[in-house]
Structure 1
Amino acid sequence: MRVLFAGTPSVAVPSLDALVDAGFDVVAVLTRPDAPIGRKRVLRPSPVAARAAELGIAIIHATKVDADVTRRLADVKPDVAAIVAYGGLIPKEALTIPSHGWINLHFSLLPAWRGAAPVQRSIIAGDDITGAATFQLEEGLDTGPVYGTLTEAVRQEDTSGDLLERLSRSGAVLLTQTLAAIDAGKAAPQPQQGEVTLAPKLTLEDGRLDWREPALALHRRARGVTPEPGAWTMLEGQRVKLEPLAMRPDIRDLDPGEVRVAGKSVLVGTGSHALELGRIQPAGKKMMSPADWVRGLASVERVVFE
């Protein structure tokens, strides 16, 4: 079976590797163009492009699948297209190129969390169980019939990065099994059933912590937005980045946003009980331990996050 693979970030790499290892003929990779990385804004290929180059697979770079890109996709004559977090819409004209269509690996139990940030939204919402699904790509937003699913427990301290890493590996197996079933003529996709929830792409504002909220909600939000776009708060008019925080239900006498040093711990008040700070990055500085940050505040009598 000739496979076109579409993907961009590191979470798509395990699927590319799994398809190659399973013996599928991956004839080309569709990925987004090189992007500037780091403070020096050096252009670097996407993780999928870098891996495809190592494997000697032809690469098609495209931000948008326009008429020219569609022609290039048709030229490789794929039997099926596998897509994992490509980062762009596939138009109707391109959907019809492979005889078996496009099979999308999505990191949720559809129809829950349709959209660009399913794992992040799942953690923020407090789901205990999430998973992944393979489905037939349609013009609608993650609406196609489902081939297969897997489940994954959301651990108490999981960040979205942690959970995505696990799902990327188990999902790669699911995707390979789905394509094998399609190739053998044994696949039977089923219409999605259940409550639809949406998972739009996270914005910077999604990472802002409102200390008036309960500690549990803040704990979930900080984990859900890590590593991107990251949790943050304001202090004296400047944005301060925060790593995920630990629950401290034994401390309940702090006002929302009020900071207190307790031995080696740095606590902050919420709408319920306190949270304990992990690493913190003040404006213009590197990420540091709470203890190092507090030492720089020796002359400040009372610190309150806004």
Structure 2
Amino acid sequence: MRLVFAGTPMAAVPTLRRLAAEHDVAAVVTRPDAPLGRRRVLTPSPVAQVAEELGLPIIKAARLDDEATAAVTALHAELGVIVAYGGLVREPLLSAPAHGWINLHFSLLPQWRGAAPVQRALIAGDAELGASVFQLVPALDAGDVFAMRVVDVAEDATADAALETLAVDGAQLTAEVVAAIADGTARAIPQTGEPTLAPKLTLEDGLLDWHQPVEQVFARFRGVTPEPGAHTTIDGVRVKVLEASPSTEDPREPGEIAATKNALLFGTATRPLAVTRVQPAGKGAMSAVDWWRGQRAPEGLRAGA
């Protein structure tokens, strides 16, 4: 098929590579170059970099305005495929390809409609993660579903690792749907069940609540790692938690901190959370135990204070 592909982050790259190998990708739509790193160097999106590598035409657009709509419409694509582009497709662009647009979404729809489905699912402690390919409609992630798949993700995977796994499986799922649309066998069915929403995360979403059970604390850690980042406050200083896991040590009071040979134990409502790597505000990443020993913290100091 003659396709137009829209996507921006690394999670969209496996699908782009797969479709480019099997179909005629007329152009790739992606967000403009963004400043990255301490020096804020303008850097093409991961999708833009791969599109250039593959020799595909690139349309860089912060939003699909009249100019971008005209450029995409002129391609006369049979189908549009979107994966985490970061902008809305509205009419008349929505109906420009003969088969409209399909969207790879990293959730089991109608669960977690919105910008952060993987992160929100992890925070909620969902037992299953998955991917869905659906027909794009004006309403948010509400179109009929062509295919859905539960994906095995490591039980301790953080959001970035989970998304990496989902992206690979999602590329396969999308390729199957595109092939079915091409040969006329694709069938989409309406979503069923009560929708849940997955709005973009904020810095506040990363705050760890030590009064919760360790399972909930660890679930939030997984969901907000690496962005916006799990954190707590110790003696008025915000400390980012980079590596952590539930401990089998005896319970401690919520927020109570104790150093062992390899980790800092943070008390929760149940068992402690073992933290092995941190990043205090204004400093680089370091061993949690080494940082704590250098603090010479007064006795009784607790996280969250």
Paired with 1:228 and 1:294, the residues of 2 have a C-alpha distance of 24
SS of match in other structure, 1:73: helix
Q: Residue 295 of structure 1 corresponds to which residue in structure 2? A: 293
5+ long unaligned stretches in structure 1? none
- For the 8 Å contact 1:130–1:153, the answer to whether it is kept is yes
Residue 15, structure 1, aligned to residue 12, structure 2 = no
Query: In 2, are the aligned partners of 1:127 and 1:154 still within 8 Å (CA)?
Result: no
One-letter code of the match for 1:160? A
1: CA distance between counterparts of 2:27 and 2:86? 17
Q: What is the TM-score normalised by the length of structure 2?
A: 0.97
CA displacement, residues 188-245 of structure 1 (integer Å, 9 cap, x when unaligned): 1111112211111111110011111111110000001111111011122221100242
Q: Does 1:96 align with 2:102?
A: no
Instruction: Extract structure 1 runs of 4+ deviating beyond 6 A.
Output: none
CA distance in 2, matches of 1:238, 1:264: 22
Alignment of 1:194 with 2:187, yes or no, is: no
Deviation at 1:77, TM superposition (A): 1.2
- 1:59-79 CA distance string (max 9 Å, x none): 111111111111011111111
Task: Determine if contact 1:223/1:244 at 8 Å carries over to the other structure.
Answer: no
User: CA offset at residue 152 of structure 1?
Assistant: 1.4
Instruction: Please report how far the alpha carbon of residue 101 of structure 1 lies from its aligned counterpart in structure 2 after TM superposition.
Output: 0.4
CA distance in 2, matches of 1:303, 1:276: 17
Deviation at 1:299, TM superposition (A): 5.5
1:62 corresponds to: 61
Corresponding residue for residue 266 of structure 1:
264
- 2:249 counterpart residue number: 250
Partner Cα distance (1:79, 1:239) in 2: 51
- Residue of structure 2 equivalent to 1:276: 274
Q: What secondary structure is seen at the aligned counterpart in 2 of 1:296?
A: helix
Percent identical across equivalent pairs? 50
CA distance in 2, matches of 1:43, 1:83: 24
Check conservation: 1:77, 1:98, Cα contact below 8 A. Answer: yes
8 Å contact kept, 2:151–2:169:
no
CA RMSD of aligned residues (A): 1.2
* Equivalent-residue separation in structure 2 for 1:261 and 1:99 (angstroms): 62
Q: Structure 2: give runs of 5+ residues left out of the alignment.
A: none
Q: Is the 8 A contact 1:7 1:87 kept in 2?
A: yes
Deviations 1:83-135 (A, max 9, x none): 00000111121101101000100001111111111111111111111110100
Letter of the 1:150 partner, please give it. R
- Counterparts of 1:1-306 in structure 2, within 5 Å, are 1-22=1-22, 24-252=23-251, 254-298=252-296, 300-306=298-304
Equivalents in 2 of 1:300, 1:154: separation in Å? Answer: 41
